[in-house]
Structure 1
Amino acid sequence: MDIRALKTFEACVRFGHFLKAAEELQYAPSTVTLQIQRLEADLGVSLFIRDGKRVIVTEAGRWLHHEAAALLKSIGAMRQTVSDIAAGDKGSVRFAAIEPIASQQLSAVIADFCKARPKVALTMEVSGSRSIAERVRAGDLEFGVCSAPPAKHMLAFEPLIEERLGVMLNRNHPLADRDSITASDLEGLTVLVKEPTCIYRELWEATIDPTGGILFSSMEVGSFHVIQQMVKAECGIGIVPIYSSLEQEGSLVIKPIADLNPAITIGIAYKDQNLLGRAALLLIDAIRGIRNPKLALPGA
């Protein structure tokens, strides 16, 4: 059963006239007649009774018209959906990002993307770099915004920004008026750090260990938001990426660590750009807008 023949049949029923159906479909009248004859031969029934120039639909034809109309409507919807997906106006995108870049830089990008393409089903997760890289490799995520993945995962990685660790202090802290902090300034303080699997914790430990001889106590806290609140309550100082928006309306400050200057590159990780859907590619392109121009792409 040919879809074109069904479209011709539907038009003939709607107009009650082969010639008018031919005009709408931009077919020759003989083409319409031939398609209806072939459809009737295929089904083994008469679909029309000829009454001069007009045609009357048979009982079998009425039933077929009901079913054909629903089918053609469904096919039209399918064509539109496929077209929308190809254009990036529909479909689904699942990705993940680490904190605090997720809330501090990506949230506005995601909001603009959702406003521009409301039919795209977007899922954004917040997770750690290791987990994100593993899930991108496994195909659970289209892409991730994280630190550079291990070479064994064989993922592409586009650098976006370089983040530097700083010390978050309450405005009332004696060190809050300093332009920068040195490692020795941490002596005797309670330092709030993220969990061991966090890249910022790894960076901190890799940076602070070589200094040696500095005695301070560490408290593990699994959330930057909680670190904010604890520093605000004067329960310690926090080791966090330097984002002015984390300084909470002037009650907190973040100072760079002058003699250590710990930094890490955050970027976009994916398996194969050619395998990504159009919506995912458009979102990645929007995220590229936050890139630090000083960070060149691999091979550039």
Structure 2
Amino acid sequence: MDLRALKTFEACVRLGHFQKAAEELQYAPSTVTLQIQRLEADLGVSLFVRDGKRVIVTEAGRWLHHEASALLKSVRSMRQTVSDIAEGDGGTIRFAAIEPIASQKLAPVVANFCRTHPKVQLTMEVSGSKSIAERVRSGELDFGVCSAPSANLMLEFEPLVEEKLGVMMRADHPLANRNNIATGDLAGLTVLVKEPTCIYRELWERTVCLTGKNPSSCNEVGSFFVIQQMVKEAYSVGIVPMYGSLELEGSLIIRPFADMNPVVALGIVYKDKAFLGKASLLLMDAIQAVGLTAKNSGHPIRDALK
């Protein structure tokens, strides 16, 4: 009992005639007859009663037709699903990105991808760079958008953009009229920073250590959005990536540093493209297509999405 014989049997029952089944399937009539005879011999039952040129389905044949129809429908569905996955129009994607690039820059790219690939089941998580790299290595994620992973993880890293840190403050802050901020200008201020595991917090502390200065005390806040809202309420200043979208017109501004250059490269992290599905590769291409690599452009993703 093979799929071709079942397909022939289903056509015979549905059309009520061997000849019509042969025409639909583009078989010789003798081929249809032979396949039905072999199927009956394999099952040890008669599936049809011949009545001249007509065929009448037996009780066993009626049951088999019901089951065969469901099976053939399932096979067609499997074929279509496999084809969709191979073309990138189906399958699953599991990836993660750090904030704020996830919400501020990648969200439009991912939303457009989901619109054009509605059959793809996508899971997008927001996490820290270290966690993302480790989960890509373990296979929990297909890829990630984060800072460069540790060399011992043996992951591939394709740079997307270089991000700089700046100082977020209210538009009416005493430092707001300056084009850039020196480290010493923060002396005596309480500065809002992300948690220690955040790449931007690591970048801030690493850069400040190089200057030999520790100009202020820090309060930890686990969300750039919360930092934004606290600064808006006149609670000191925040250390954030220089995203124009984090500024609030007439309310909040971000100024670069004058005496240090805190820069981090963000990119796509993956283990081996040979093991990634077509849909994951297409999404990676879409993310890369919005701008050039970091060494060729200062903020390619931001510029491309304006």
Does the pair score TM above 0.5?
yes
1-structure distance, mates of 2:171, 2:68: 72
The answer to whether the 8 Å contact 2:231/2:237 transfers is yes
2-structure distance, mates of 1:212, 1:91: 51
2-structure distance, mates of 1:290, 1:222: 28
1-structure distance, mates of 2:293, 2:91: 31
Question: What letter matches 2:201 in structure 1?
Answer: R
2-structure distance, mates of 1:67, 1:279: 34
Cα deviation for residue 152 of structure 1 reads 0.7
Please say if 1:33 is aligned against 2:33. Answer: yes
1:63 equivalent in structure 2: 63
1-structure distance, mates of 2:213, 2:81: 64
- Does the residue aligned with 1:197 lie in a helix, a strand or coil? coil
Question: What letter matches 1:94 in structure 2?
Answer: R
Cα deviation for residue 214 of structure 1 reads 4.3
Stretches of structure 2 that go unaligned for 5 or more consecutive residues are 297-306
Over residues 41-86 of structure 1, what are the superposed CA-to-partner deviations in whole Å (9 max), with x where a residue is unaligned? Answer: 1011111111222211111111111111111111111111111121
1-structure distance, mates of 2:46, 2:157: 64
Over residues 138-160 of structure 1, what are the superposed CA-to-partner deviations in whole Å (9 max), with x where a residue is unaligned? Answer: 11111000000001111111100
Stretches of structure 1 that go unaligned for 5 or more consecutive residues are none
Question: What letter matches 1:101 in structure 2?
Answer: I
Cα deviation for residue 215 of structure 1 reads 3.3
1:170 equivalent in structure 2: 170
Over residues 149-207 of structure 1, what are the superposed CA-to-partner deviations in whole Å (9 max), with x where a residue is unaligned? Answer: 00111111110000000010111111111111111111111111111111101111110
- Does the residue aligned with 1:166 lie in a helix, a strand or coil? strand
The answer to whether the 8 Å contact 2:182/2:259 transfers is yes
- Does the residue aligned with 2:288 lie in a helix, a strand or coil? helix
2:81 equivalent in structure 1: 81
Question: What letter matches 1:188 in structure 2?
Answer: G
2-structure distance, mates of 1:243, 1:216: 23
Where do residues 28-177 of structure 1 align in structure 2 (5 Å cutoff)? 28-177=28-177
2-structure distance, mates of 1:249, 1:190: 23
Question: What letter matches 2:265 in structure 1?
Answer: T
Over residues 99-156 of structure 1, what are the superposed CA-to-partner deviations in whole Å (9 max), with x where a residue is unaligned? Answer: 0100110010011011111221111110000000000001111100000000111111
The answer to whether the 8 Å contact 2:164/2:241 transfers is yes
- Does the residue aligned with 1:253 lie in a helix, a strand or coil? strand
Cα deviation for residue 290 of structure 1 reads 3.1
Question: What letter matches 2:282 in structure 1?
Answer: L
- Does the residue aligned with 1:191 lie in a helix, a strand or coil? strand
The answer to whether the 8 Å contact 1:162/1:266 transfers is yes
- Does the residue aligned with 1:295 lie in a helix, a strand or coil? helix
1-structure distance, mates of 2:50, 2:73: 27
The two structures have a TM-score, normalised by structure 2, of 0.94
Tell which deviates more after alignment, 128-137 or 186-195.
Answer: 186-195
Question: What letter matches 1:147 in structure 2?
Answer: S
Distance 1:292 1:177, change over 3 A: farther
- Does the residue aligned with 2:121 lie in a helix, a strand or coil? strand
The answer to whether the 8 Å contact 1:186/1:214 transfers is no
1:5 equivalent in structure 2: 5
Question: What letter matches 2:130 in structure 1?
Answer: R
1-structure distance, mates of 2:156, 2:181: 36
Cα deviation for residue 212 of structure 1 reads 2.3
Cα deviation for residue 261 of structure 1 reads 1.3
- Does the residue aligned with 1:222 lie in a helix, a strand or coil? coil
1-structure distance, mates of 2:166, 2:48: 81
The answer to whether the 8 Å contact 1:22/1:29 transfers is yes
Where do residues 245-256 of structure 1 align in structure 2 (5 Å cutoff)? 245-256=245-256
2-structure distance, mates of 1:156, 1:61: 57
Question: What letter matches 2:48 in structure 1?
Answer: F
1:24 equivalent in structure 2: 24
Question: What letter matches 1:7 in structure 2?
Answer: K
The answer to whether the 8 Å contact 1:93/1:120 transfers is yes
2-structure distance, mates of 1:250, 1:101: 23
Distance 1:272 1:188, change over 3 A: same
Distance 1:213 1:65, change over 3 A: closer
2:303 equivalent in structure 1: none
